[in-house]
Amino acid sequence: LQRLAAVKSGGEALETYCVDLNEKARKGRIDPLIGRHAEVERSIQILCRRTKNNPLLVGDPGVGKTAIAEGLARKIVNGEVPDVLKDATIYSLDMGALLAGTRYRGDFEERLKQVVKELENHENAVLFIDEIHTVIGAGATSGGAMDASNLLKPALASGTLKCMGSTTYKEYRQHFEKDRALVRRFQKIDVNEPTLEDTIKILKGLKSTYEQHHKLRYTDSAIRTAVELSARYMTDRKLPDKAIDVIDEAGASQMLLPESKRKKVIGQKEVEAVIAKMARIPAKSVSKSDTESLKELQTDLNRVVFGQEQAIEQVSAAMKLARAGLRDPQKPIGSFLFSGPTGVGKTEVAKQLAATLGIEMQRFDMSEYMERHTVSRLIGAPPGYVGHDQGGLLTDAVDQHPHSVVLLDEIEKAHPDVYNILLQVMDNGMLTDAVGKK
């Protein structure tokens, strides 16, 4: 209550509703920023402008937008920035604290105005708003246009308030881009996903922080494996976030073991085991050393499916080539068309292959897809149609079990449009559903 009273009397608004990132950096609670020199340089250049000095970091989730802002605060504290920014302080806006307890009309606006006023009086202050699309509509009443973004606009245009923001491409298009008056006040900076080599440098830079926390060491091969395998198998997320998660979880997995059994050095094998769990795929398919099951694959299949030696030999050869790393990683491990009379074991080969490899089998009876409109059942209905938000049967099944045998039974009964959908699967191993997810 005393703090709220102090805020109302015109002080401490920054302390109450913002987080001082410089202070966090001084206490060592911010990880170092590795690389991203072009983005940091562009941010500093925009902050030095006379008007519209507001950088907006836009990129996919997990590429390191927030890390750039926090890393900039750390660089300021360590004196690694040009003289023009050496006295700057970065404050991160806490939208939850700003909205919490606003019972009456005008409470929110009053708080935000006090924050802006204090920032304007503080010559070297920079306001950082993470997930900046949340300010659009925040605190607005029904039918009223006065939300947080409109309260910030005058200060943003005049240059008295320096503001950094971060948002994803999706939110930028959905919310931010529609407010043209707000967009023109910000300078957009695209934050792209780093390359594999850049990600390895980032992980090597962060390695000591995670080693200190987990009280162990990571080998260079473990870091390279974490980056390469996460890029290959965890396709729904972006680097470097997913690779950092892998090495963090590899260290955390040792904490579950008794102290006598914990490893002091994390190597390639431990990283492979963690990726197998995180990507929901059999550990055998990630490991480069697991050759025993492959050696016996053809024999095991011949033991349960009789009289189909030629077909089984071709399937086994494709599996061995894939596991040896001699295939295009962008294509499916193998696409086979089993043809023959009823009862010779076409479906059984697919079932036993899945069982022998220890992976899921997804079976689709294509006699249910004889009509043209049934294509949408596989990949989801397009926008504007009923069931648009429910997803497709094939895309959802593969999303849930990324490493599986997909059996399209009785495929000759399917509508020709279904074949067209499957062309990109055979060629690129990729299918885009109705909401644009690949």
- Along the chain (438 residues), what's the average pLDDT of each consecutive run of 10 residues? 47 80 86 85 86 87 87 86 84 82 79 85 85 72 62 80 88 83 86 88 88 88 88 82 89 85 84 83 60 72 82 83 72 81 83 80 85 81 73 79 82 84 79 71
Predicted local distance difference test score (pLDDT) of residue 6: 47
| Cα–Cα distance measured from residue 32 to residue 29, given in angstroms and rounded to the nearest whole number | 10
- Whether residue 346 contacts residue 353, with contact meaning beta carbons closer than 8 Å, is answered with no
CATH number attached to the domain at 196-284: 1.10.8.60
242 CB-near residues (< 8 Å, 6+ apart): 62, 230, 231, 234
Q: 222 is written with which tokens?
A: 């473990």
Q: Residue 386 is which amino acid?
A: V
Alpha carbon separation from 87 to 38, 83, 415 (Å, rounded): 22, 8, 67
The CATH number of domain 290-428 is 2.40.37.10: no
Nearest residue to 283 via CA among 268, 297, 296 = 268
CATH architecture of the domain 12-190 equals: 3-Layer(aba) Sandwich (3.40)
Rounded distance, CA 319 to CA 314, Å?
A: 9
Q: What is the pLDDT of residue 292?
A: 62
Helix (H) or strand (E) holding 43: helix 37-47
What are the structural domain ranges in the chain? 12-190, 196-284, 290-428
The token pair that represents 338 in the structure block:
């089993």
CB 355 within 8 Å of CB 336: no
Coil, strand or helix at 28? coil
Judge whether 12-190 and 196-284 match in fold.
Answer: no
